[in-house]
Amino acid sequence: MGITRLAFVGLAVLLLVALIVIGARALLSALGSGDVPEPAPSPSAPATAPATPAETARPQSTGTQSTGTQNTGVPTVRIVCEADRCPVFVRVPGGDVLIDRDLTQDEQASYFEPELDVVLGDGSAVQVFENGKPRAAGKPGERESFKVTRARDR
């Protein structure tokens, strides 16, 4: 009976090691792979918006809009990165974070929600349009935060 117990213990240890190796490989491949498919967007997640003719000339143009709001053509806020790296954070007040990452040069993000909180890591590194109108650039190297409210349709 001693050999049988040793065999079961050995088998259990072997299965435990196999599970650890499989789990570690899956975790490393998920964390290290740049081509992991993105999850399907939820109703509150941003979706890609069509580019306007002026935006198509940009090499890396990314427009986003919320699928839960009505798109009237002019975004509540549009942010265009003019530097190599532009830290941008946009969220619905008290709600979903729409973007929290660095945009690259000529990349842009547009949102159509009625009200937004915007934080820019460097106010001079981006060009911001509020309801289609350009916002004054911030001071170089200074963090800038502000609220944007959707303009009422005429």
Distance between CA 68 and CA 142 in Å, rounded? 33
Q: Based on the domain organization, do 24 and 55 belong to the same domain?
A: no
Residue of 133 and 33 predicted with greater confidence:
133
Residue of 55 and 22 predicted with greater confidence:
22
Distance between CA 150 and CA 93 in Å, rounded? 13
- pLDDT (tens digit per residue) in 33-80: 544 444 444 444 444 444 433 333 333 334 444 434 455 689 999 999
The number of domains in the chain is 2
- 116 found inside a domain: yes
Specify the pLDDT at position 28: 80
Please name every residue paired with 65 in a beta bridge, in sequence order, or none if there are none.
Answer: 47
Q: Based on the domain organization, do 100 and 67 belong to the same domain?
A: yes
Q: Based on the domain organization, do 84 and 106 belong to the same domain?
A: yes
Q: Based on the domain organization, do 28 and 58 belong to the same domain?
A: no
- pLDDT (tens digit per residue) in 80-128: 999 999 999 999 998 899 999 999 999 999 999 999 999 999 999 999 9
Q: Based on the domain organization, do 98 and 30 belong to the same domain?
A: no
Share the mean pLDDT of the chain: 78
Specify the pLDDT at position 65: 43
**Rounded mean pLDDT, 13-24:** 92
Q: Based on the domain organization, do 31 and 50 belong to the same domain?
A: no
Q: Based on the domain organization, do 96 and 145 belong to the same domain?
A: yes
Q: Based on the domain organization, do 131 and 108 belong to the same domain?
A: yes
**Residue 86 contacts residue 102 (beta carbons within 8 Å):** yes
What confidence tier does 152 reach under pLDDT thresholds 50, 70, 90?
A: confident
Q: Based on the domain organization, do 8 and 50 belong to the same domain?
A: no
Q: Based on the domain organization, do 58 and 32 belong to the same domain?
A: no
- 129 found inside a domain: yes
Domain around 81? 46-149
Can you give the pTM of this predicted structure? 0.55
Q: Look at residues 78, 61, 150 and name the one whose alpha carbon lies nearest to residue 120.
A: 78
Q: Based on the domain organization, do 24 and 52 belong to the same domain?
A: no
